[in-house]
Structure 1
Amino acid sequence: MAVAGVAASAVVGAAQEYPDVVRTSAYVPVRDGTRLAVNVYRPARDGAAVASRLPVIFAFTPYRARFTEKDGKVVELALGDRLALRSLIRAGYVVATADIRGKGASFGHRRGFQDRTEAQDGYDLVEWLAKQPFATGKVGMIGCSYLGGTTFQTATTAPPSLKAVFVGASDLDKYAFVRRGGIPAQFNTRPDEPPEVDLASVPVDADADGSLLKAAVAQHDANTPMAALWYGMPYRDSVSTFTGTPFWEEVGVYNYLDAIRRAGIATYFWSNWQDEPTAQSILSAANLPGARFLAGPGSHCVPPPGFDFTGEITRYFDQHLKGAVPGATPRATYWVEGLNGKGGYVTSEKLPGEGSRAQGWYLGAGKTGTARSVNDGGLTPRAGRAGADRFTVNYDLPDPEYFAFWAKPMDDKGLSYTSAPLAAPAKIVGFPVAHLAVSADKPDAQVFVYLDQVDAAGKAEVVAFGRLALSHRIEGKAPYAAMGLPFHPGRKGDVMPVQPGQVVRLNIDMTPVARVVPQGARLRLTIAGADPRQRNLKDIRQNPAPVITVHRGGADASRLDLPMAK
């Protein structure tokens, strides 16, 4: 592992070879005849598109590629630089954006979300773009969040013209992401948007009076509702009532990795540390030979600060679409919080967690011995005497912001175990795993775990978290390389309620970490039974609330394994 040099951390502008842009838009029919709204942005000089053929970068969105805000301002995905798209146009790429079927200005309706229909639509549009007179025949795709998913899913269909993808904050295993541990994630269960949102899309060029836009949006009424789809499939092998298929398997990218490998599509995965999909991005990189990985210190899809993000993207596509000879291309580049007292980027040929060793921290009674807040000595390097602590699940939690991508401290909502101040800095890189011995007075309950860093003044921040329902505790062999992490299949036959009072083992992998915890700071593990980011708390609330007991010490010693790096 090496500290990234100036070239990787300095922010530099993209090449200004083509200062202007010429845009056109049209409806493009895909294989079943559905017309999708496609926008093409060609590099230009003096208002005229360049005549030479250029490679194409494609972004496929459900969030409207072009729309008008209430103040009349037109927003265009391709003209922003959050995904370096404007810089790519300047650097000599044609950029194309399209609305997925059932959204924006496109016709049709959504059968599912990032399903095989969308993947095949992506295939058709990639090949259509490759055959246009402005194109060299080589296409790259880029996106983050849902757009990262459309990018990854399109790659699974292996379009012959798709040569490289840059995938941000997406998933390898959608079941393990959306319903991790049997518990739905908050930002995948939001309400669907009203028709007015899509009606604000800018009509394509030939639709001067907007009549085609209105006809397209009318078809969106048949869209499958997102929250109902996810909530309606509690098990990995559930058959969706909306699609009539075992939908988690249909949208699980891991089922199609061989197609990406055989096609030789270059892959680059990016996600930031304070963002739940980062675990999936690391696993994606671990499962595709030659894949690269990037993580910054920020939140969901925020360009990594202090890093030449647009330059990195441009150089990556230059290599795979223009044949440029690459410089040093480390497998992984990521921010380490607290490195050298502040934080910085490092480069490595190992992904975060590879090469780290697990160091156990055991739950103990501590000096105070209270159930709600166990302080100095409550988290120690050695197992103590046998004992147990219990708490009643608290469902009365504060409402989070609409998109709470990261958890906040929960130490007053369950059990907390806090270490003594660290005698030396601790470098943690990889996936913490909580190994808990628990029992409950109900057949099922949900368990949430949070790892906090607490400074000398008592200020705490959550650095990792995880979740698992008691009934989903059964483990099995993952259908992909899982980097040694526990894998919970979640099939209907794997789900087992517990007998009240039965002690069971829970192995909960948490979101990945890359940080140096300074000397004098404390580590804290919190165990709770509900999370304020759950949108369905009112529906799942048990009355009376479950009482969960955590067993520590002795043969059933509960512990937290931290991935320690050199």
Structure 2
Amino acid sequence: MVNLVAAGGALAIRKDFPRPIRVIDHQWIPMSDGTRLAARIWLPEDAGSDPVPAIIEYIPYRHRDFTLPRDELIHSWFAGHGYAAIRLDTRGSGNSEGAPMDEYVRQEQDDMLDALAWLAEQPWCTGSCGMIGISWGGFSGLQTAFRKPPELKAVITLCSTDDRYNDDVHYMSGCLLRNNLAWGGQAQAYFARPPDPAMVGDAWRDMWRERLNNLPFPTAEWMSHQRRDDYWKHGSVCEDWDAIECPVYAVTGWADGYTNTALKLMAELKVPRRCLIGPWAHGYPHLGAPGPAIGFLQDCLRWWDRWLKGIENGIDQEPMVRLWLQDPAPPAAEYNERPGRWIAEPDWPGPGLGEKTLGLSETGMLVDGDGDGDIRVRTRLTVGTLTGEWNPHGIGPELPLDQRSEDACSVLFDTGALSDDLAIVGFPRLHLRLSSDRPAAMLTARLEMVTDDGTSTLITWGCLNLAHRNSHEDPEALVPGEPYDTVLSMNAIAQVVPAGARLRLALTTGSWPLLWPSPEIATLALSGEACRLVLPVRADQDIDATLVPFEESEIPEPSAITWLRPFARSRQFHRDMASRRTELLLDKDDGAYRIEDHGMEVDQLGAERQVIVDGNPLSNRGEVSWRIAQSRGDWNVAVEATTTVTSDTHEFHVEARIVATEGDDTIHDITMQRSIPRDHL
């Protein structure tokens, strides 16, 4: 997260605000069980005599150091405009007391209810509270709203999910994502970090040992729930849409991994709601990459003013849905900006949307009307290397490249050249009738646009573990040779395909390294006459012209940060032609920096390796390692964590080693191991 401050240098910096600000660097907030959570609070100086509503961001990412540079670009701005802004660390993280916890457990939510009650009672608070957050913080806002605390009056949720199983970092339509290990290995190191002695005093070492002695084993825990069981249903607000009773503003970007939830919330919630989807990756839109960035803080202020202060400013009368309709751009691993324009719908699905249906023909064509023929899909294990990262952050070579070499190893269906521009807006889906020669199999689908020079640009994609064809709760093995009807849904998108280009559907039996492969290589047989691609399409609407432009992006003055080593990203694939071995090497250097206000130096370095031998799905092996060091004067601590995953026909094998050091002394060295039965995966 700290690397997001790199965008700050190009933004307008605001130094004067309507209300002068004071900062409480360390505030204990008591929980009902006696545990204290640590918060940083930005307040208008006169809030004691002129109370204000409170806006809370609640995450386990350490407000004292890791997110401090980014926090300064958000929360002081809100305080300067008449709000109390609170960055609260969850139990067992940052300077908060207690042991670290798994994702989104009930205790985390209970703590937030206690915190809201405490905040609402403070003399500087009006009693009205809002929650804002991205990723974990976005989840927290929705999950807290689900619990209906009376103090919570509105939520802004960014890059989050309504369904923890089917639309999060762990699983996608029943397929195991590589990001389950990538995030699990990173979280393993995050959970092990100590508090800051400058804040908690001599208790820091005992607090650290409590954390180290109670570390979760996240990668293994998540892999032990391979179907949508009660573990995932907890914290999934789609379990009861009516439980949320406060207004919700949902925000994401087309380059993010969480593209779907914002539109689903618009379709299902009954409360006042608003949706914004730009071209961005996993980040706040006022720092948005790819650009254009927008004046998102100003837009948030309008939302807070309406629902926390009761100011009738018209934001609730504007179109519910605002989307960045992307124009064509040559494929690239990263963009500075994506061309396009803003469009709007009064609700979702909006009246401007329609559908275009294309059949799959054994001739390799997408045709109007029904498809035809018998189609076989059996592809190499290493197809998928150019699909990009599942959850780009806008900070390196993460996005899909030209798909031509992938297409050469896929089963393709093309339209002819389009006679007119076609705007695809929404969720493409693929209706299928198929059979498999193996009891376990998956299918992936890429939707692409192909230009005259042959360039193939990925528009969106989807996958399906075919054992989950009817249910994510009760998967069923395939009976070889038996035909099944099912639907594969792709991620939401808003993209113009220009006249003269062709649409392409590319089918494969996997997508490496994004998806962990099935234990056997399957051959799928599709019945062309029963297979069809359904595209959500949109014509230009008058409502688009009514949209008021966003203000220019601005930020408050950033923290004084000295970079000791810049952040960097490297993403490479190595192929050994003799052994047929392919390896992903992903270096994640979050850099080293010193926070000048309190002198702490932070150094974070991660790496990810995944390797597979083509033709042998059981050869797949993943490894994630992180080293995080913190220092100030004579205080010098570090955590190193390495997590690996392998599999055989029947089980996954997960191992994590965590080493914690203080100076030259190793104070904790533990290896955790777990073998987990494969459950239709």
TM-score (normalizing by structure 2): 0.68
1:14-73 deviations in Å (ceiling 9; x for gaps): 9821354322313323123332222212134xxx876421111100012212216xxxxx
Query: Does the 8 A contact of 2:355 with 2:536 survive in 1?
Result: yes
Match of 2:227 among 206, 212, 235: 235
Query: Does the 8 A contact of 1:451 with 1:525 survive in 2?
Result: yes
Match of 2:152 among 158, 162, 171: 162
Q: CA deviation at 1:135?
A: 1.0
Q: Describe the shift of the 1:563–1:11 C-alpha distance in structure 2 as closer, same or farther (beyond 3 A).
A: farther
Decide which structure has greater strand share. Answer: 2
Q: Which gives a bigger RCO, structure 1 or 2 (Cα 8 Å, sep 6+)?
A: 1
2:348 is aligned to 351
Query: Does the 8 A contact of 1:447 with 1:529 survive in 2?
Result: yes
1:426 is aligned to 422
Q: CA deviation at 1:361?
A: 1.4
Q: Describe the shift of the 1:192–1:515 C-alpha distance in structure 2 as closer, same or farther (beyond 3 A).
A: closer
The 2-side partners of 1:86 and 1:426 are apart by 43
Query: Does the 8 A contact of 1:12 with 1:311 survive in 2?
Result: no
Work out whether 1:33 is the aligned partner of 2:45. Answer: no
Work out whether 1:512 is the aligned partner of 2:492. Answer: yes
Work out whether 1:301 is the aligned partner of 2:277. Answer: no
The 2-side partners of 1:196 and 1:235 are apart by 26
Cα RMSD (Å) of the superposition? 3.0
The 2-side partners of 1:162 and 1:196 are apart by 29
Structure 2 SS opposite 1:66: coil
1:549 is aligned to 525
Residue segments in structure 1 that go unaligned for 5+ positions in a row: 1-9, 69-73, 238-245, 367-373, 475-488
Query: Does the 8 A contact of 2:196 with 2:204 survive in 1?
Result: no
Structure 2 SS opposite 1:67: coil
Q: CA deviation at 1:460?
A: 2.5
Q: CA deviation at 1:103?
A: 2.3
Q: CA deviation at 1:204?
A: 6.8
Match of 1:123 among 105, 108, 113: 113
Q: Describe the shift of the 1:446–1:346 C-alpha distance in structure 2 as closer, same or farther (beyond 3 A).
A: same
Work out whether 1:445 is the aligned partner of 2:441. Answer: yes
1:477 is aligned to none
Q: Describe the shift of the 1:21–1:531 C-alpha distance in structure 2 as closer, same or farther (beyond 3 A).
A: farther
Q: Describe the shift of the 1:147–1:389 C-alpha distance in structure 2 as closer, same or farther (beyond 3 A).
A: same
1:238-271 deviations in Å (ceiling 9; x for gaps): xxxxxxxx2122222123433322xxx1111111
Q: CA deviation at 1:521?
A: 1.4
The 1-side partners of 2:500 and 2:13 are apart by 37
1:78 is aligned to 71
The 2-side partners of 1:29 and 1:165 are apart by 23
Structure 1 SS opposite 2:357: strand
Q: CA deviation at 1:392?
A: 3.4
**Identity, % of aligned pairs?**
27
The 1-side partners of 2:400 and 2:218 are apart by 23
Report 1:265-284 matches (<5 A): 265-284=246-265
The 2-side partners of 1:535 and 1:52 are apart by 54
Structure 2 SS opposite 1:109: coil
Query: Does the 8 A contact of 1:443 with 1:500 survive in 2?
Result: yes
Report 1:237-386 matches (<5 A): 237=229, 246-261=230-245, 265-289=246-270, 290-303=272-285, 304=288, 305-327=292-314, 328-338=317-327, 342-351=339-348, 355-366=352-363, 374=364, 378-386=365-373
2:555 is aligned to none
The 2-side partners of 1:40 and 1:421 are apart by 57
Q: Given residue 115 of structure 1, which amino acid in structure 2 is its aligned partner?
A: V
Query: Does the 8 A contact of 2:266 with 2:273 survive in 1?
Result: yes
1:242 is aligned to none
Q: CA deviation at 1:353?
A: 6.0
Q: Given residue 133 of structure 1, which amino acid in structure 2 is its aligned partner?
A: P
Q: CA deviation at 1:359?
A: 1.2
Q: CA deviation at 1:158?
A: 1.5
The 1-side partners of 2:281 and 2:418 are apart by 27
1:562 is aligned to 535
Query: Does the 8 A contact of 1:23 with 1:40 survive in 2?
Result: yes
Residue segments in structure 2 that go unaligned for 5+ positions in a row: 1-10, 329-337, 393-398, 540-681
Q: CA deviation at 1:285?
A: 2.3
Q: Describe the shift of the 1:473–1:247 C-alpha distance in structure 2 as closer, same or farther (beyond 3 A).
A: same
The 2-side partners of 1:109 and 1:525 are apart by 48
Q: CA deviation at 1:444?
A: 1.4
Query: Does the 8 A contact of 1:421 with 1:522 survive in 2?
Result: yes
The 1-side partners of 2:309 and 2:212 are apart by 38
The 2-side partners of 1:355 and 1:306 are apart by 26
Query: Does the 8 A contact of 1:42 with 1:50 survive in 2?
Result: no
Q: Describe the shift of the 1:560–1:220 C-alpha distance in structure 2 as closer, same or farther (beyond 3 A).
A: farther
The 1-side partners of 2:451 and 2:133 are apart by 36
Work out whether 1:529 is the aligned partner of 2:471. Answer: no
Q: CA deviation at 1:137?
A: 0.9
Query: Does the 8 A contact of 1:268 with 1:285 survive in 2?
Result: no
Q: How many residues align?
A: 500
Match of 1:138 among 116, 128, 136: 128
2:44 is aligned to 43
1:4 is aligned to none
Query: Does the 8 A contact of 1:335 with 1:514 survive in 2?
Result: yes
Further displaced range: 444-453 or 272-281:
272-281
Structure 2 SS opposite 1:248: helix
Q: Describe the shift of the 1:11–1:255 C-alpha distance in structure 2 as closer, same or farther (beyond 3 A).
A: farther
The 2-side partners of 1:427 and 1:196 are apart by 42
Work out whether 1:91 is the aligned partner of 2:87. Answer: no
Query: Does the 8 A contact of 1:119 with 1:156 survive in 2?
Result: no
Work out whether 1:435 is the aligned partner of 2:431. Answer: yes
Q: Describe the shift of the 1:302–1:452 C-alpha distance in structure 2 as closer, same or farther (beyond 3 A).
A: farther
Report 1:10-25 matches (<5 A): 16-25=17-26
Structure 1 SS opposite 2:65: strand
1:5 is aligned to none
Query: Does the 8 A contact of 2:228 with 2:472 survive in 1?
Result: yes
The 1-side partners of 2:295 and 2:101 are apart by 38
2:177 is aligned to 185
The 2-side partners of 1:534 and 1:177 are apart by 14
1:67 is aligned to 65
Work out whether 1:499 is the aligned partner of 2:479. Answer: yes
Query: Does the 8 A contact of 2:383 with 2:409 survive in 1?
Result: no
1:6 is aligned to none
The 1-side partners of 2:455 and 2:194 are apart by 44
TM-score (normalizing by structure 1): 0.81
Structure 1 SS opposite 2:378: strand
Query: Does the 8 A contact of 1:26 with 1:204 survive in 2?
Result: no
Q: CA deviation at 1:202?
A: 4.1
Query: Does the 8 A contact of 1:187 with 1:403 survive in 2?
Result: yes
Q: CA deviation at 1:132?
A: 1.2
Q: Describe the shift of the 1:449–1:139 C-alpha distance in structure 2 as closer, same or farther (beyond 3 A).
A: same
Work out whether 1:456 is the aligned partner of 2:443. Answer: no
Query: Does the 8 A contact of 1:293 with 1:351 survive in 2?
Result: no
Further displaced range: 420-429 or 251-260:
251-260
Q: Given residue 106 of structure 2, which amino acid in structure 1 is its aligned partner?
A: R
Further displaced range: 284-293 or 528-537:
528-537
Q: CA deviation at 1:382?
A: 3.1
1:484 is aligned to none
